[in-house]
Amino acid sequence: MPAGDFPSTNNWLPGDKFIHGGIFAVLTFLFLLPAPFISKSKIKREIYKLTVVLLSVGFGILTEVLQEKLTTDRTFDLKDWAADSAGIIIAYIAYQIFESRRKTL
C-alpha cells in the first residue's frame, strides 16, 4: 500500500522505512529458523543461510521493480530497498545470536 495510506508516525519512528525493514526482518528470520534441520553438514547449513539472505535481498529489489512496472501510483525507491536490506541484515544477526544461545542451553 502506498506510504500515504499509512497514518502519520511520531518523529522518532521513521515510518515507511521502519515498516519495510521490519517486514523483511521477520520474513528472513522465519526462513532462517529451519537452518539447523537442513543438514548435519555445517557447510550446507551455512549455504542455506546465505541463500536465504541473498534471496531475501533479491525479493526486496524485485518488489521495488515490480511496483514501478506494474502499478501507476507506485515507484521504485532505492531507500525502500535499503530499508529491506537493513532488516535482512538485522534478522541474520539476530538469528546468529539466537542460534548461538540455543546451542549453549
Give the residues of the chain that fall short of pLDDT 50: 11-12
Distance CA 17, CA 100 (A): 29
Q: Is residue 81 part of a domain?
A: yes
Q: Is residue 96 part of a domain?
A: yes
Q: Is residue 72 part of a domain?
A: yes
User: Where are the strands (E) in 1-105, listed by range?
Assistant: none
> Is the separation of the CB atoms in 94 and 29 below 8 Å?
yes
Say how many domains are in the chain. Answer: 1
Give the model's pLDDT for residue 14: 61
Q: What are phi and psi of 27, to 5 degrees?
A: -55, -50
> Is the separation of the CB atoms in 35 and 48 below 8 Å?
yes
Q: Is residue 86 part of a domain?
A: yes
Give the model's pLDDT for residue 6: 57
Model confidence, pTM: 0.82
Give the model's pLDDT for residue 74: 86
Tell me which residue range forms the domain holding 86. 39-105
C-alpha cell read off for 61: 529489489
